[in-house]
Amino acid sequence: MASIEFSPLIAGTMKWGTWGKNYNTAQMQTIINCCIENNITSFDHADIYGDYSTEAAFGAAYNQMNIGRSAVQFISKCGIQLLGGVRKNKIKHYDYSNEYIIKSAEQSLANLHTDYLDLFLLHRPSPLMHTDEIAEAITKLKKDGKILSFGVSNFTSTQTALIGQQIEVEFNQLEYSITHLYPLENGIFEDMIINHITPMCWSPLGNVFTNATEHTTSIKKVITELSEKYNVPEDVILLAWILKHPAKILPVFGTADPKRIANLMKATAIDFELTDWFYLLEVGKGREVA
């Protein structure tokens, strides 16, 4: 069972660098401070973000700030080998060899100017995973104090169980939102509860605010009603809906807008009425709950 305590909402850094806002050091420091001031102390990274550059940019900003390491939690991921770019790969692929996992973790430590990662994840499943190599690498990283906890990302229940035969899996970070209900409908969350695995979810707002379709228009109508009822912004409603689930899901949000970040933790104070939760689920499914 996971022993690391993360903030109820986690700041996703994927778009802070060249894949999005392209923040400079001072701007990253502003966002880091904004998160911490609003009790969002956990930061989600991956080696590939910004074509292997965002993690180091964040680390350079953090390293100049007077923030105690115990006051924040750092998450990173490894395994994806991007096509071209910095590493000049000929084809996108995954590498979960013992050597590569350890090397990736150590590179993330250097990037973030820290001695340890609170959580280290395998970014996506590979059909060529050798569980003994993975277990050996993670065991060594834990023994050396370089990672405190281990998990996976975008793994099915079966793939997670495969890894779990040899090494404890404490977290699984999945795509989940009102417009992507797959983990809710396929027993994944129930499996995680049974096996004491904590879910994290990326893209928790789904495509509600980015795709104008008949479906998202219907969802927005319900969100607007609930936003007025609970007196919070619409994106807060979507986060609160996720937090209601008994699996104790930790949403990883992607916004880097200080004004929005300042409101997000309001989601933790909302106690959705049962019928309101199912009202939003129904419109998300596009049909009556069976």
Active site residues: 49
The Cα–Cα gap between 178 and 203 comes to: 10
CA nearest neighbour of 79 among 62, 102, 96: 96
| Other C-beta atoms lying within 10 Å of the C-beta of residue 36 | 17
CA nearest neighbour of 75 among 23, 135, 116: 116
The Cα–Cα gap between 106 and 112 comes to: 10
Question: 17: which 2 tokens?
Answer: 């660098």
CA nearest neighbour of 97 among 118, 111, 113, 81: 81
Burial class (CB in 10 A: 0-12, 13-18, 19+), 162: middle
3-state SS, residue 180:
strand
Contacts (Cβ under 8 Å, ≥6 apart) of 121: 75, 76, 77, 78, 150, 151, 152, 153, 171, 173
Residues 8/79/100/191 CA torsion (nearest 10 deg):
60
Q: What's the gap between Cα 270 and its chain centre? A: 21
The Cα–Cα gap between 148 and 4 comes to: 8
